[in-house]
Amino acid sequence: MAIVVGLLSTAEGQAALAAAKREARERSVPLTVVASKGDGGAERQALEEDLAADGLPYSVVAGTGDLADDLVRTAQEAGAELIVVGLRRRSPVGKLILGSGAQRILLEAPCPVLAVKP
């Protein structure tokens, strides 16, 4: 069992990471972070230092470039109990159509999905 979240430097990504860390602590399960393809490494290193300092059990897996697919696949492989995603503010019309990545995650996820806003 694990909590799965993507590594994104956006405000939405940071909100998702903070929520995922809280959930992992509260549930006493490891955190699995999916790093985007081509991640420069500095962000990943800072994340690993932060997680290690927190004493939170974690793993970081490399993504393929399709974050929605990577999160769903990683959740399946890890037997995840939760996927955490960040959502950005949408216009009234945009609310009818959730972001395609978020929509794919919600429809294909093998476990519950927690959506957070910054």
CATH code of residue 54: 3.40.50.620
**What pLDDT is stored for residue 23 in this prediction?**
97
User: Which residue range(s) make up the domain with 88?
Assistant: 3-116
Give the pLDDT score at 29.
96
When divided into structural domains, the chain yields a total of 1
What's residue 9's pLDDT?
84
Q: Give the pTM.
A: 0.88
Share of the chain above pLDDT 70, in %: 86
Whole-number Å distance between alpha carbons of 76 and 98: 23
> Edge to edge, what strands does the sheet with 82-86 contain?
58-62, 31-35, 3-7, 82-86, 113-116
pLDDT of residue 21: 95
User: CB under 8 Å, gap of 24 or more: what pairs does 47-50 form?
Assistant: 47/7, 47/17
If one compares 46 and 89, the residue with the highest pLDDT of the two is 46
